[in-house]
Structure 1
Amino acid sequence: MKRILLTAAAIAAGVFVEHPVHAQAAQTIFNTAIPGAVRVAIRENNPNGEPDPRGRIVWVQTVPFETYCKDVLPNEWMPSWSPESLKAGAMAVKMFAWYHHLHPVTIDGFTFDVDNTTNFQAFRYLSGQPETNQAVDAIRNQAFTMPDGSIIELNYRAGYRDSANWQYRNAQKMAQWGSEYWAERGRNYIQILQFYYVDRALKFY
């Protein structure tokens, strides 16, 4: 159904002019290129030397997209975990970054896609590990989206060890510990993703 917008002048004159309101096309993997780079706001460290989610933004670092994913995954998933868990994690990290690249924010005069803290995803430059790098490479040219290919944020939480973490499935979030739980029980990364992100689909681009 088209919405009709009426101007005050048109109403006063008894003339009704129809202005169709066009819905913005959904951003999908079919009409939106994968980012070439991600803008990462670097925040001040806390007294323990770790990036502080409440810290002042010092500068914005531009990082190649795949490098960004490789420098997040070992800081969010344990590199010693099963390969299928790591691939599920790589997909979550990738889609989270892709979504936020399309929805940048500006704070204190800095425009960026994500920061380097758990406000978004824990990023440490050049921290990639062989196991996690391999997981990121394994899902190249793949995306996990809505059935129509719409790019969505894949959220995740730590969850509980040795548990399927069903409560996160109900909230459309993946449990990091849950991904390892299922991998240890023979689930592949697609099955793990499908368990936590209901009504989502694997796509190739």
Structure 2
Amino acid sequence: NSNYGGSVYQDFAPGAKGNLKAGLKNQNASHRFLSSAPPTGCKTDGTYGKPPTTILVYRRSLNRVDRVEFKTYVKNVLPNEWRSHWPRESLRAGAIAVKQFGWYWALRSASKTPSGQCYDVADDTASQMYKPGSATAATNAAVDATWGIRMTRDGKIFKAQYCSTTTACRHWVTGDWMSQNGSRDKAEAGWSYSRILTYYYKGIVLQS
């Protein structure tokens, strides 16, 4: 249940000719011109109040940038950052953190590939692990259940970082990072996703 149906777009300028990338053939990719629905260029259509429609993902090993529907992106990151069999509230906390991290970077679109293409996030641990076709029923349910929730600090989307434990990442800052294993343990102890998030991320507001 990958929920990965036709949500990758290969961009061409209006009126231009180009060869479709063969690597997209087996991903049910949609090949569209820039004048169609997805936003174009490097700027996002997301705001602090509305998530982006799509996100630019640097497929590092393939040396290309894919424009991916944002919800599809989140659904194909979560099972690679959280274990699909973990408790529901842990998965929901993870779904919001994954969405938040991608949203934060989509509002910036400042990174460039070696060939000069702009992108929002990479598909590896430099950003978040994105693997097309990896979504599961449990993680999809967590994303769907929390999609209308946004997490802000001082009214803005902030960079919600996370790590397996509080000591595994050298850049850990208490109040800005969430422990993935900790979210599992707290969910097993009966904590809700909102309690988990407000425990790890200080000064935040959860809004629908």
The TM-score with structure 1 as length reference comes to 0.73
Q: CA deviation at 1:159?
A: 0.6
SS at match of 2:183: helix
* Count of residues paired in the alignment: 158
* Map of 1:21 onto structure 2: none
- Please give the alpha-carbon distance, in whole angstroms, between the structure 1 residues aligned to 2:154 and 2:83: 30
Q: CA deviation at 1:169?
A: 7.1
* Map of 1:119 onto structure 2: 126
Contact 1:98-1:151 at 8 Å conserved across structures: yes
Q: CA deviation at 1:170?
A: 2.1
Paired amino acid for 2:67 = T
List gaps (5 residues or longer) in structure 2.
1-45, 167-171
- Please give the alpha-carbon distance, in whole angstroms, between the structure 2 residues aligned to 1:139 and 1:73: 13
Contact 1:42-1:61 at 8 Å conserved across structures: yes
Contact 1:169-1:198 at 8 Å conserved across structures: no
* Map of 2:48 onto structure 1: 29
Contact 2:58-2:113 at 8 Å conserved across structures: no
SS at match of 1:120: coil
* Map of 1:70 onto structure 2: 75
Q: CA deviation at 1:110?
A: 1.7
Counterparts in 2 of 1:189 and 1:169: CA distance versus 1, 3 Å: farther
List gaps (5 residues or longer) in structure 1.
1-26, 45-56, 161-167
> Which aligned pairs between 1:78-89 and structure 2 lie closer than 5 A?
78-89=83-94
Alignment RMSD (CA, Å): 2.0
SS at match of 2:63: strand
1:154 equivalenced with 2:149 (yes/no)? no
Deviations 1:123-171 (A, max 9, x none): 00121000000000011111011142x11110000117xxxxxxx6724
Match for residue 150 of structure 2 among 121, 124, 143: 143
Deviations 1:43-67 (A, max 9, x none): 12xxxxxxxxxxxx61011110000
Q: CA deviation at 1:106?
A: 1.3
Contact 1:106-1:112 at 8 Å conserved across structures: yes
Q: CA deviation at 1:76?
A: 0.2
Contact 2:178-2:200 at 8 Å conserved across structures: yes
Contact 2:92-2:193 at 8 Å conserved across structures: yes
Q: CA deviation at 1:107?
A: 2.7
Paired amino acid for 1:130 = A
Larger radius of gyration: 1
The TM-score with structure 2 as length reference comes to 0.72
Identity of aligned residues (%): 37
Paired amino acid for 2:57 = V
Q: CA deviation at 1:181?
A: 0.7
SS at match of 1:128: coil
